[in-house]
A and B are shown apart, each in its own frame.
Chain A
């Protein structure tokens, strides 16, 4: 009898699945519960950024660019289409100025949004 029951273990599995509600999350009709640690959109705290360029040096995808004339005059440019969302910039930043939020990044279709100037500090 036990052996026969084991033969139908898949049958009991589908009965269980039939009784329980489906596991699908109907995004975007339902909200997604994302953990805080998810590496989503990149933001920069302009107050804290000192323009040291550590994030630019370590970025594996060359998605960050520092356009600097001097220590006080610089622009930090982010290319979201290149970004791998690996979190290395967040890791490299000594002052905690650049970090990922857990906001999902939408696909980029507009050429205007391919270049994001995170920080513009020029005279």
Chain B
């Protein structure tokens, strides 16, 4: 247990954690991912029944692919701006890109958080930013997963569209994987990789909003983190 409480009435002062660009990025990226996953699934598996008639009366696949590519552009541009914000933003803007693995305290917190998640510990840590488990999962699954999707996705896009996407991505990604089909398969698998992150992410922020010692969901809206107690 923590140190004796000196003043029960007071809690820790709120901290401005997520700056506006980070919040904007989060809330732009989230719908992009849902749209990309839904349209991407349909591109790989156009599940609708037979559409008949002259092809100029319909543009179903064309529209789905257009939405997919547009959402991918938004996701990609957002990702680039977010990487820029790693350089310009506050310390919490960096923590999902650069893990403080050289600090002993980071490892300590990692194991304490794992113990909390596995019901071995009755009280969670007080966290201002992301806890180390979250940092690790966001970097390994989300950041790298989205980067992988952007690279393979724009490589596939460049196959048909040519231009910059072909020069920057298609020209080396397709040979690297062996062929276009392999890139498609990996792009598809990585979608599920990111969706699993989304499932865990949404569950854990709700859980932590209820059970942790600080605000979670409202913090990503307002930027401010409020604490529920005064202990360290």
A, B assembled together = no
